[in-house]
A and B are shown apart, each in its own frame.
Chain A
Amino acid sequence: MQDTMMKRASELLADGTVVRVLGWKNGEFVYDPTPAVFDSAEALAQDFVYHDFCGSNLSKYLIELSRLEGKTLVFLKPCDSYSLNQLLTEHRIDREKVYIIGIPCDGKLDPDTVRSSAEGILSAVTEGDSVQVETMYGNVTLNKADCLLERCTVCKSHKVVVFDEMLGENGTVNPDSNRFDMVEKLEAMTPEERYEFWRGELSRCIRCNACRNVCPACSCEQCVFDSPTSGVSQKAAADSFEENMFHIIRAFHVAGRCTDCGECSRVCPQHIPLHLLNRKFIKDINTYYGEYQAGAEAGSRAPLVNFTMDDCEPNVIYKGGSK
């Protein structure tokens, strides 16, 4: 796949369709590849990589890149394409300035899980259901299903929803992803249990802002947490709970716009399951306003900023009841 992608990118650079390519290059280790911009075939040949650790979502980088002269080529996996659509809906990206190559995906590896079973990783190659990991200490074979990122275990869609061309075959939406199972478990808890669950999870937060910085929905020109006039920026927390409000406020800010790409949880160095907050919103929106997938199509009106006669009355939602 990497070679096909590189070849196609070089062609598009050569014929002038695009002036730069947004892809991945390896970081310090093979399991921490990082988004990178390439402006020549030589640069691609030197650093461009694509393998099963390339989980990061490239969509958000296009906000800045689409403001530059010339078109940018981007490789989008299915979940990344939903984010791109959502950003198009919000007029954050100029579609004319982006050339999208869709790439199929059947799950990306969670580096932490792989590392827990294999130290000194040199490369990892997926073959069917297994992952062949080459390490400094010999080869290890792992079961792929055990090494996937959380979001890939409950993948909502294998379909690239926006592209100029596809490399390989496009997949389909997966309505039976069971991605709300954990939300349902949380809903079944008593308020006290749930409070304890979240206090436990959120207490690990070190406010590194990685979740916000990676989130394609968190693309405000000026984040409320950085705005000196907001009254919350640089404010000392009055108690330990106030610190947790960061995540609750962020979940509210992206409600209805979050595509469930799972980047927040992927990048969290403290392994806080932040995606659950967003999924609770998505599940509620589905329940109260009908099935809605943010980013499934560009230009769709999200239920929270749209009114229809069929919407349930606010008092029904306050009561948490059914329609």
Chain B
Amino acid sequence: MLRIGVFVCHCGTNIAGTVDVKAVAETLGKEPAVVFSTDYPYMCSEAGQNIIKDAIKEYQLEGVVVCSCSPRMHEATFRKAVAAAGLNPYMLEVANIREQCSWIHKDMAEGTAKAIVLGRTAVAKVQLNAPLTAGESPVVKRALVIGGGIAGIQTALDIAEAGYPVDIVEKEPTIGGKMTQIDKTFPTLDCSSCILTPKMVECAQNENITIYSYSEVEAVTGFVGNFSVKIRRKARFVDEDKCTGCGACTEKCPVKNAPDAYNLGLSNRHAAYIPFAQAIPNVAVLDKERCIKLTKGKCGLCSTVCSAGAIDYEQQDSFVEEKYGAIVAATGYNPINIDGYDEFAYSQSKDVVTSLEFERILKADGPTEGHLARLSDGKQPKTIVFVQCVGSRESGSAHGCGKEYCSKICCMYTAKHAMLCREKYPDTDVYVFYIDVRTPGKNYDEFYRRAVEQYGVHYIKGMVGKVAPQADGTLDVQASDLISNEQLHVKADMVVLAAAIEPDKSARPLATMLTASMDTNDFFTEAHAKLRPVESPTAGVFLSGVCQGPKDIPETVAQAGAAASKVIGLLAKDKLSCNPCVAHSNEMKCNGCSSCANVCPYGAITYEDKDFSRRKDGTMMRRVASVNEAVCQGCGACTVACPSGAMDLKGFATSQIMAEVDAICK
């Protein structure tokens, strides 16, 4: 039996407030094998660590149990302390009596009893711990950024600037993302394209950056420092190397009725197209749903006019397989589908638009060439009503598509829209219906005040109940004014809905591939809400932009830079210390059935035929599993899949788990 020491932490009152730490230390001190037991206000402090180190020497401890916060907090601290005193760092167990005990109990007696059980469990486990030594694995010095919006672009540029190669995978034919569709940016009202396109060009020109446009991540294997990623390059039916972006094919293409995604379907484009003038790469795409040649086998006009010979109707999806040390998710967002909001007459009237559609109307390369005009009759609207929080801050959504969270950007862009309308068209009456106006941020509130005070925008606190299209082409907006406590009717020419934003649909399958966790709204979860905001809990996966939570452009760029610096910090290392808590196979029990290899997400298990002869005259070859310890991440999937119990996890052996269960049930 190992000589065990138990150290109970008060964590100030965090633990001691609901757990009688003295009683815990005293009770655990009576456990068999426990030769020393004590408590201390802050075990993680220098003095606390010294108590552990001194006790190891004085009492010749062979195993240490610290009853404290979650091992995610201080396991590393205590391992180092134990190692400093000459013990193997893996001869330590942390009993979590804070997150899993004191914080969730109110009753002192109950909390104390549970803390004792948790401590006893750790004592039982540490008895079966074995000294482990960490190996090393090399780091592939290349990063992958998934998503080519402003978040992905900024992250890629920063990584590339530090000297590391980085690939951007963008599912659309061009990088740029949502920012390409936006007209002006708050709070300075500078042109979105003017600040974005230089960065797009920089991506194209930077030698360290490879852009895989019109591509999607197909599969991810591996682990931090050593990811293998399969990228599907969707067939664009145009040879990217030959196309000069001259646009001849797009002009000659006889198909003219394909909805233009760049204009959110508010106008049409050809089947052969370049999304917009500043597209990067500036390469045409054939819309395979609309192209006559691809659907019916006839036409072929674009091929005749292409002087570069770039059109290739036979092009197939191709695949790129590449190794990366780090992966950044920058998958961005979309406005929610607001078809469920019948009360706003969005599907009934062309003059009820979403804010992003309104951006397209205001922008020079949009469907109205930048003129503020109604989409129904092209007339300039005289009265515009903006409706805030359409689908945001909706608890128990009656519409089925509302979100509980605040989309964060709507208050500011609506102020911007209102201001731009009044600036360019002073004869326009602008109303904004809001629940709250939320404009914290540098120069943000001043911006909103300017809309109200300088530009005379009518801000009315209250929600719009109904928008009814009238026979004369106007829209009757029925709303409540909560401050004057009355019902209003506004005769509007145009209604703009600030639709909530949600993570892009590609995020969920990507998270599954990356084994990165997500919240219920499909935003990526960060490793720590406050202290590790740009890292996923999955090592080597980083988060950039709205895929982690709603944010505006400045915040996105800041986070993109932060994610890049984390990536650079990782890629700067030559080797990573491996987790020694990895799987191993007991060859005498292994049947060679491949169940473990089938479930292994890291491809760490291989098979070999080994001779298990028990007779001298013959051979007895058996197929047995062997684990590549550098590749294994210790997830334990194999140990539960193995039908014969041959697979076991170092540091979390089945015998240890059973000992813990026995200790709990004692």
Contacts and interface: CB of A to CB of B under 8 A. Distances in A.
A77 B426 CA distance: 88
A92 B591 contact: yes
B381 interface: no
Interface in A228-265: 229-231, 253-254, 257
A189 to B, nearest CB: 29
Interface string A200-244: 000000000000000001011111100101110000000000000
B459 to A, nearest CB: 43
Interface string B253-291: 000000000000000000000000000000000000000
Nearest to A309: B509
Interface string A89-104: 1111000000000000
A219 B591 contact: yes
A299 to B, nearest CB: 10
Interface string A76-92: 00000000000001111
Contacts of B512: 309
B598 interface: yes
Contacts of B622: 221
Contact of B593 (A90, A223, A309): A90
A69 B201 CA distance: 69
A283 to B, nearest CB: 20
A224 B593 contact: no
B645 A227 contact: yes
A199 to B, nearest CB: 22
B30 interface: no
B599 interface: yes
A224 B658 contact: no
Given A231-B658, A309-B509, A221 B590 contact: yes
B643 A92 contact: no
A271 interface: no
Contact of A221 (B509, B589, B594, B621): B589
Q: Chain A interface mostly helix, strand, loop or mixed?
A: loop
B607 to A, nearest CB: 8
Contacts of A253: 643
B643 A257 contact: yes
B592 interface: yes
B491 interface: no
B637 to A, nearest CB: 9
Given A90-B591, A91-B594, A224 B599 contact: no
Interface string B612-637: 00000010111100000000000000
A227 B623 contact: no
Nearest to A222: B589
Interface residues of A, number: 27
Nearest to B612: A221
A278 to B, nearest CB: 14
Nearest to A256: B595
A188 interface: no
A67 to B, nearest CB: 7
Contact of A305 (B509, B607, B641): B641
A194 interface: no
B644 interface: yes
Contacts of A302: 598
Nearest to A69: B618
A301 interface: yes
Given A224-B644, A231-B658, A253-B643, A305 B592 contact: no
Contacts of A227: 589, 645
A306 interface: yes
Interface string B47-88: 000000000000000000000000000000000000000000
Nearest to B598: A305
A306 B598 contact: yes
Contacts of B593: 90-92
Contact of B591 (A220, A254, A304, A307): A220
Nearest to B589: A222
Contacts of B590: 221
B606 interface: no
B655 interface: yes
A69 B618 CA distance: 9
Nearest to B659: A231
B471 interface: no
B594 A90 contact: yes
Nearest to B624: A221
Given A67-B620, A90-B594, A92-B592, A224 B509 contact: no
Contacts of B598: 301-302, 305-306
B641 A220 contact: no
B588 interface: yes
B589 A220 contact: yes
A221 B591 contact: yes
A141 B414 CA distance: 90
B644 A220 contact: yes
A317 B226 CA distance: 34
Contact of A224 (B607, B618, B623, B645): B645
Contacts of A254: 643
Interface of B: 509, 512, 588-595, 598-599, 607, 618, 620-623, 641, 643-646, 655, 658
Given A227-B645, A304-B641, 8 more contacts: A89-B594, A92-B593, A221-B622, A224-B645, A230-B645, A231-B658, A257-B643, A309-B509
24 contacts: A89-B594, A90-B595, A91-B593, A91-B607, A91-B623, A219-B591, A220-B591, A220-B643, A221-B590, A221-B622, A221-B644, A221-B646, A222-B588, A222-B589, A224-B644, A227-B589, A227-B645, A230-B645, A231-B655, A301-B598, A302-B598, A305-B599, A307-B599, A309-B512
| 5 A-B pairs closest in CB distance | A90-B593, A220-B644, A305-B598, A222-B589, A305-B599
